[in-house]
Amino acid sequence: MAATAPFPAGATLADVGEFELIGALTRHFEQGEQVLVGPGDDAAVLRVRTGHVVVSTDLMVEGRHFRREWSSAEDVGHRAAAQNLSDINAMGGRATSLTIGLAAPADLEAQWALDFARGFADECALVGASVVGGDLTRADQVVVAVTVLGACTVSPVLRSGARPGEVLALHGRQGWAAGGLAVLGRGFRSPRVLVEAYRRPAPPYAAGLVAAEAGATSMIDVSDGLLAEAGHLAAASGVAIDVRRGAFEVPEPLHAVGAALGADPLSFVLSGGDDHALLATFDPAAVPDGWAVIGEVLEPADGAAPAVTVDGAPYDGPTGWTHF
């Protein structure tokens, strides 16, 4: 249920005005101890402790990354925060602060923006991160631009450290959001568990630091597809990666969607994104609890470029999402 709004029911952004809306939005964002100056000045001021500062930026565009008829404003807020918090997680760090740029049509109800802010703030609270500023402007559709800052207390885990002889491991649910998107794209709303997984990801926020401390040699979050992300690790590290089909336990809801749509349920796992699971490489003896080994790191074939195979052969399906 939507929280009580400071504006009349049905009031649009044009009715409310920029600065009244900004004032209402910022009341959703509690400030952590790392924030010296939060929203309201020309820039935020943050306390930086020892370690490495890590920064990432992501965009969400209405009609491209989400549809308002498929997801509530709170859902969009959760997703926008999750995809950014997950990027810091994939470096072995913890997100501390975020800024939001929100562009929206003048006739968008102000309550939508407030609900978005609440969902965003609730997701950030899962890791103790604060929204410290942002910007608001008019556009023909909703566009969300988020920058996240975080800290690594150990050396950041890059994509480029995988070596032959290591294993590829996965932490977090994978393929659920892709199944939910396939269901929504056909005009259905069930299995509900998959639809909700698409609307609100559940990244394994605690797993990134655990992996870094255990000696992960490379890591990435699965935002655009498991095989596509494994390909990024392979290319950055100059290795080959082989993924094993038999390593995955495909959940029953994905079997149901696959049967209904005439699709291989494993394809959602191999090529799906938006769950923001973590993919990492480890020495075989150093894989932490909770991580499932799904493949191996190999030397590239003679004269061949780094590549990803499935059970030793090229994969003939889509490997993930592409933006262009």
Residue 47's pLDDT is: 73
* Binding site, annotated residues for Mg(2+): 42, 56-58, 87, 135, 221, 224
- Could you tell me if residue 116 is inside a domain? yes
Residue 46, phi then psi, degrees to nearest 5: -120, 150
Here the CATH number for the domain that contains residue 33 is 3.30.1330.10
- Could you tell me if residue 7 is inside a domain? no
Residue written as token pair 């009244």: 20
User: Based on the domain organization, do 304 and 183 belong to the same domain?
Assistant: yes
- Could you tell me if residue 256 is inside a domain? yes
User: Based on the domain organization, do 239 and 306 belong to the same domain?
Assistant: yes
User: Based on the domain organization, do 62 and 135 belong to the same domain?
Assistant: yes
Here the CATH number for the domain that contains residue 187 is 3.90.650.10
Please identify, among 152, 178, 193, the residue that sits at the C-terminal boundary of a domain: 152
- CA–CA gap between residue 208 and residue 86 (Å, rounded): 9
* Binding site, annotated residues for substrate: 65, 274, 321
DSSP string, 216-269: -SEEEEESS-HHHHHHHHHHHHT-EEEE-GGG----HHHHHHHHHHT--HHHHH
Domain that holds residue 86: 13-152
User: Based on the domain organization, do 145 and 272 belong to the same domain?
Assistant: no
Residue 25's pLDDT is: 74
Residue 30's pLDDT is: 80
- CA–CA gap between residue 12 and residue 216 (Å, rounded): 48
User: Based on the domain organization, do 68 and 138 belong to the same domain?
Assistant: yes
User: Based on the domain organization, do 205 and 295 belong to the same domain?
Assistant: yes
* Binding site, annotated residues for ATP: 134-135, 159, 223
- Could you tell me if residue 320 is inside a domain? no
User: Based on the domain organization, do 106 and 211 belong to the same domain?
Assistant: no
Residue 7's pLDDT is: 81
User: Based on the domain organization, do 178 and 305 belong to the same domain?
Assistant: yes
User: Based on the domain organization, do 97 and 222 belong to the same domain?
Assistant: no
**Total domains in the fold of the chain:** 2
Please identify, among 119, 152, 185, the residue that sits at the C-terminal boundary of a domain: 152
- Would you state the structure tokens that stand for residue 215, as one six-digit string? 């000696």
- Could you tell me if residue 69 is inside a domain? yes
* Binding site, annotated residues: 42, 56-58, 65, 87, 134-135, 159, 221, 223-224, 274, 321
First to last CA, the chain: 37
- Could you tell me if residue 275 is inside a domain? yes
**HEC assignment per residue over 6-23:** CCCCCCEHHHHCHHHHHH
Q: For the purposes of burial, counting CB atoms within 10 Å of the CB of 324, is it exposed (0-12), middle (13-18) or buried (19 or more)?
A: exposed
Answering whether pTM is above 0.85, one says yes
CA distances from 227 to 13, 230, 282 (A): 41, 5, 17
Q: What is the mean pLDDT of each run of 10 residues along the chain (324 residues)?
A: 66 80 77 72 66 89 94 97 96 94 96 96 96 93 96 91 98 97 93 97 97 98 96 96 97 96 96 96 98 97 88 90 65
Residue 1's pLDDT is: 39
